[in-house]
Amino acid sequence: MKRIPKSLLKKLENRKEIGTFRTLKTKTALVDFSSNDYLGLARLDAISVRAKQILTDLGHSANGSTGSRLLTGHHPLFKKVEQQIATYHEAETALVFNSGYDANIGLFSALPQRNDLVFYDAFVHASIRDGLRLSRAKSYSFRHNDFEDLARKIEKLTSASSVWVVTEAVFSMDGDSPDWKSLAAICNRFEVHLIIDEAHATGVLTQLTEIYKQTTIENHLTARVVTFGKALGCHGAAVLGNASLRDYLINFAGSFIYTTALPPAALATIAAAYEKLQDKIGLESLHQNIDIFNRSVVNLDLKQHFILSQSAVHCCIAPGNEHVKMLSMQFEKSGFDVRPILSPTVAARKERLRFCLHAFNTENEIESALKLLATLL
Ligand SMILES: Cc1ncc(COP(=O)(O)O)c(C=O)c1O
């Protein structure tokens, strides 16, 4: 086959020169402080056993879904699973997409219209930005979790038909959350349509629906995105909202319409994982580990390096791509998988080590990793 054009090879060379060249790494047997398997469900045999049972009980399965949802791919399990997801999250409806990336591409490219304005937190995930790039609406970022900045920007640009505000429940690269009361105040003041990506909160921040109700955020929430590749330990995503949102996406979201549906085995696994979520498997251990981690950070005098987080994602700012890569390598040598997050994924000088905590991490693993960090910094 013909190689890619020279200009693209040059771009690759440039990445190597500045130390940001990406390569694929096979999963290792190191202590896991890196995966998104926060509750340990990806390694739970009971889920695959239950998923097989669900398929057997249903009596008809297939290796693949055989088509898109609008053609032959709409397996009977979709109805059951979407109902189960909607009930768990106390939403009117759920619509399954093949991944969180697909859900965001479909949602953001289809929903905001030509004369609308979209305001998104500067730290939202790449899938949201990519979706917005496909939209005809104008979009503007506001400073991370800064709702005064958001208010100023909304006030300045008043002519839109609809105003959309986009944020995340737990930010993937920082582990923090919006201040819900301040967000609710903005929603009430400007009558916005709110979209919240809950990827890193799904199954972890179990009080989220309650928070939405208590703060009145619920009244402005047009869509929620939940994903299954993180705490649920499997694959896929869903958009939650009312029936008209679901109908709209089925009719207009390209990444829903023009792709082969998830296979029955994936749906059965999602159903089995939600059953475990309902049973709160791993939840207490995860939250205990988050507390242990935060306590150790304070005890080891590391607090000034970390972004405050009550989620499973904890970031230690260690400026410089080479510096943070070196730190990650030291962790690897000591048996820990702690990944560096480099610029341009995060801003320059904000490069960081990202510790993902899990239900299955032990107290000893957490304390040893943080002691190592204290010696390295
Ligand atoms: C906030 C956020 N949204 C969406 C996604 C994409 O989800 P998926 O991995 O299911 O495509 C991610 C993945 O990292 C994410 O962090």
CATH topology of domain 47-278: Aspartate Aminotransferase; domain 2 (3.40.640)
Q: Name every residue whose Cβ is closer than 8 Å to that of residue 342 and which is 6 or more positions away in sequence.
A: 19, 20, 321, 324, 325, 351
What is each CA distance from 134 to 161, 204, 264, in whole angstroms?
19, 31, 30
Domain map of the chain by residue range? 47-278, 282-376
Report the nearest-CA residue for atom 7 of ligand 1. Answer: 100
Q: Is the CB of 354 under 6 A from ligand 1?
A: no
How much is the pTM? 0.96
| Contact predicate 164/130, CB 8 Å | no
Sign of the alpha-carbon torsion through 280, 286, 290, 295: positive
Compute the distance from residue 100 Cα to the ligand 1 centre, in Å: 5
Span 282-376 CATH architecture = Alpha-Beta Complex (3.90)
Compute the distance from residue 225 Cα to the ligand 1 centre, in Å: 9
Per-residue pLDDT of the chain (377 residues; tens, 9 = 90+): 999 999 999 999 999 998 888 899 887 799 999 999 999 999 999 999 999 999 999 887 789 999 999 999 999 999 999 999 999 999 999 999 999 999 999 999 999 999 999 999 999 999 999 999 999 999 999 999 999 999 999 998 877 689 999 999 999 999 999 999 999 999 999 989 999 999 999 999 999 999 999 999 999 999 999 999 999 999 999 999 999 999 999 999 999 999 999 999 999 999 999 999 999 999 999 999 999 999 999 999 999 999 999 999 999 999 999 999 999 999 999 999 999 999 988 999 999 999 999 999 999 999 999 999 999 99
d(CA 274, CA 280) in angstroms, rounded, equals 10
Two structure tokens written together for 29: 């047997």
| Contact predicate 73/66, CB 8 Å | yes
Q: Is the CB of 237 under 6 A from ligand 1?
A: yes
Q: In what order do the strands lie in the sheet with 352-356?
A: 313-317, 352-356, 339-341
Q: Is the CB of 100 under 6 A from ligand 1?
A: yes
Q: Is the CB of 36 under 6 A from ligand 1?
A: no
What number does the ligand 1 atom closest to the CA of 171 have? 1
d(CA 50, CA 245) in angstroms, rounded, equals 31
| Contact predicate 342/321, CB 8 Å | yes
The backbone torsions φ and ψ at residue 188, rounded to the nearest 5 degrees and listed phi first, read -70, -35
d(CA 142, CA 121) in angstroms, rounded, equals 5
